[in-house]
Amino acid sequence: MGIKTALPAAELGLYSLVLSGALAYAGRGLLEASQGGAHRRAFRESVRPGWEYIGRKMDVADFEWVMWFTSFRNAIIFALSGHVLFAKLCTMVAPQLRSWMYAAYGALAVVGTMGPWYLLLLLGHCVGLYVVSLLRQPWLCLGLGLASLASFKLDPLISWQSGFVTGTFDLQEVLFHGGSGFTVLRCTSFALESCAHPDRRYSLADLLKYNFYLPFFFFGPIMTFDRFHAQVSQVEPVRREGELWRIRAQAGLSVVAIVAVDIFFHFFYILTIPSDLKFASRLPDSALAGLAYSNLVYDWVKAAVLFGVVNTVARLDHLDPPRPPKCITALYVFAETHFDRGINDWLCRYVYDHVGGEHSAVIPELGATVATFAITTLWLGPCDTVYLWSCLNCFGLNFELWVQKLAEWGPLARIEASLSEQMSRRVRAIFGSMNFWAIIMYNLVSLNSFEFTELVAQRLLLTGFPQTTLAVLFVTYCGVQLVKERERTLTLEEQKQDKEKPE
């Protein structure tokens, strides 16, 4: 049932006021907890000196974020600046050679960072999948791709292959897994696209140009081969009107997000507090709920910053990369819950949509989600936490379809049809608010720990019932209503733009 009626202004104002007040109240509790726990023994390892001139220490529990913006920051800026410079020169002098320049510069950066033996290791995987692609058998290409991915995720092959990296530095393991994993996914995309388009003859050089594009090499996102090849092969690329302004705006937003996270880490120790369960258990219910929510928001911001930086460079190269992840605040359905749109697009194109079809039948959808999360489990690295995370999210995705089918059942469908659009919207928002917290709880397992997730669930559902449970659901209900109203507005704007387009 489509919901087209706008919410009254007074109702929207009430929802905004409730949501803002709840976030401010939870934030105050987190700030007090951060101040009170800064000198605890359990905090000493992950709370280090920061802005001493205002007496604030910094949460450094996420070593990747700290390394990216401290010792590794200069290397990132140097490598990407060099890429942009050489790409601009090549586009001006010999635009037909720009794809070769991308590959050559990327390969040199990989050699300089990880050593020549690592480059040869990846070339071996590239050649292997290229040879298999010549057989034009999709099942064989996907099978070898998954086997190659498993070799970087499971012992003893992972230990043997990691020996190809020369030298030692802080982010070596991160770069090894990132470069290797994304290389396998890109090579598999190349092989599967070759099978899907037998009339097009792709060469090994096309694969190498695709794989060694530096901005995407170590950290993604993934662009499927067909999209990348079509965009990078344009001899005289032309920018759309206003594109440079949008690129500058994206770069500015990335800088603002980095500064905001730095400020946040000096005042809210959202990553350190969950590591001290004894201390976390003494937090007020509102602060604990805000802490769980903040962990997911931070992971979204982290992904948005990472992909925002590399996507800015890609757009300067006249590419149209995958969009950044959708804000966790705007998510209340499992079908849209993904922090990496590139990998999500890859999985949907080659696995989820291929197996699930229209995603309207229960059994095919179950098979599609199981296959998709099995590959996702392999991508993340099989372990107990990943198994639990995959099972929970697989269940959530299927449960949505089961509820939808139940809602379409005759008696329930007639009941909803008898309701006004406003009432139908409110009922759906109630279910959306419960789904929102299911998304938070299921993903908190992998982002933090099972013990912390268990503590949050116990406090919000058992010991805090019914006051805390109903209060949290009401605040979330207000947020879902605001998100639905924004989605309605955007839909109307898109429809208006479509009508204004000339025939």
pLDDT digits (tens, 9 = 90+) for 405-455: 888 887 878 887 888 888 888 888 899 899 999 999 999 998 888 999 999
Handedness of CA 5, 10, 16, 21 (dihedral sign): negative
- If asked whether residues 138 and 279 sit together in one domain, one would say no
Q: Is residue 178 part of a domain?
A: yes
CA distance 291 to 311: 30
Q: Averaged over 460-479, what is the pLDDT? A: 91
Q: Which domain holds residue 448?
A: 9-54+247-330+419-500
Q: Is residue 394 part of a domain?
A: no
Q: Is residue 391 part of a domain?
A: no
Judge whether 75 and 109 are in contact, CB under 8 Å.
Answer: no
Q: Is residue 107 part of a domain?
A: yes
Judge whether 219 and 310 are in contact, CB under 8 Å.
Answer: yes
How many angstroms separate the Cα of 377 from the Cα of each of 147, 314, 489, 502? 13, 28, 37, 47
Judge whether 455 and 446 are in contact, CB under 8 Å.
Answer: no
pLDDT averaged over the chain? Answer: 87
pLDDT above 90: percentage of residues in the chain: 40
Q: How many residues does the chain have?
A: 503
- If asked whether residues 33 and 97 sit together in one domain, one would say no
User: Considering 200, 232, 264, which residue would you say is the last residue of a domain?
Assistant: 232
Residues 6+ apart with CB under 8 A from 374: 390
CA distance 304 to 302: 5
- If asked whether residues 29 and 80 sit together in one domain, one would say no
What pLDDT sits at residue 500?
59
User: Considering 232, 259, 293, which residue would you say is the last residue of a domain?
Assistant: 232
Higher-pLDDT residue of 373, 40: 373
48 by DSSP, 3-state: which?
Answer: strand
Amino acid (1-letter code) at residue 346: W
- If asked whether residues 113 and 27 sit together in one domain, one would say no
Residues 6+ apart with CB under 8 A from 176: 114, 118, 162, 165
Q: What total number of domains does the chain contain? A: 2
- If asked whether residues 47 and 188 sit together in one domain, one would say no
- If asked whether residues 79 and 187 sit together in one domain, one would say yes
User: Considering 232, 258, 273, which residue would you say is the last residue of a domain?
Assistant: 232
What pLDDT sits at residue 1?
41
Q: Is the pLDDT of residue 488 over 90?
A: no
Q: Is residue 389 part of a domain?
A: no
CA distance 141 to 239: 36
CA distance 503 to 500: 9
How many angstroms separate the Cα of 293 from the Cα of each of 2, 32, 287, 300? 29, 17, 10, 11
Q: Is residue 414 part of a domain?
A: no
User: How far is it between the farthest Cα atoms of the chain?
Assistant: 69
| Closest C-alpha to 260, from 305, 208, 318 | 305
Q: Is the pLDDT of residue 209 over 50?
A: yes
Q: Is the pLDDT of residue 99 over 80?
A: yes
| Closest C-alpha to 284, from 467, 477, 41 | 467
Of 177-186, 383-392, 476-485, the least confident? 476-485
What pLDDT sits at residue 195?
93
CA distance 190 to 209: 11
Higher-pLDDT residue of 131, 158: 131
- If asked whether residues 222 and 254 sit together in one domain, one would say no
Q: Averaged over 113-122, what is the pLDDT? A: 92
Of 37-51, 315-329, 441-455, 458-472, the least confident? 37-51
How is residue 78 written in tokens? 């140097």
| Closest C-alpha to 351, from 199, 207, 189, 217 | 189
Q: Is residue 315 part of a domain?
A: yes
What pLDDT sits at residue 2?
45
CA distance 294 to 299: 9
Note the pLDDT tens digit of each residue in 45-66. 788 877 777 778 888 888 888 8
Q: Is residue 59 part of a domain?
A: no
- If asked whether residues 25 and 83 sit together in one domain, one would say no
Q: Is the pLDDT of residue 4 over 60?
A: no
Note the pLDDT tens digit of each residue in 247-258. 899 889 888 988
How many angstroms separate the Cα of 188 from the Cα of each of 127, 175, 289, 310, 350? 11, 20, 41, 22, 10
- If asked whether residues 172 and 264 sit together in one domain, one would say no
- If asked whether residues 134 and 273 sit together in one domain, one would say no
Q: Is the pLDDT of residue 245 over 70?
A: yes
- If asked whether residues 21 and 93 sit together in one domain, one would say no
Q: Which long-range contacts (CB under 8 A, 24 or more apart) does 146-151 make?
A: 146/188, 146/375, 146/378, 148/184, 148/187, 148/188, 149/181, 149/184, 149/185, 149/188, 149/378, 149/379, 150/378
Backbone angles phi, psi at 69, to 5 degrees: -110, 20
Of 278-282, 310-314, 329-333, 388-392, the least confident? 329-333
Judge whether 148 and 375 are in contact, CB under 8 Å.
Answer: no
Judge whether 305 and 259 are in contact, CB under 8 Å.
Answer: no
- Peptide bond just before 466 cis, omega within 30 deg: yes
What pLDDT sits at residue 498?
60
pTM of the full predicted structure?
0.89
How many alpha carbons fall within 13 Å on the CB side of residue 259? 6
What pLDDT sits at residue 502?
52
How is residue 20 written in tokens? 């803002």
301 by DSSP, 3-state: which?
Answer: helix
| Closest C-alpha to 185, from 159, 218, 214 | 218
Judge whether 202 and 226 are in contact, CB under 8 Å.
Answer: no
Judge whether 311 and 250 are in contact, CB under 8 Å.
Answer: yes
Q: Averaged over 359-384, what is the pLDDT? A: 91
DSSP class of residue 324 equals: P
Q: Is the pLDDT of residue 461 over 70?
A: yes
Note the pLDDT tens digit of each residue in 77-93. 888 889 989 888 887 88
Judge whether 322 and 278 are in contact, CB under 8 Å.
Answer: no
CA distance 259 to 253: 10
- If asked whether residues 157 and 186 sit together in one domain, one would say yes
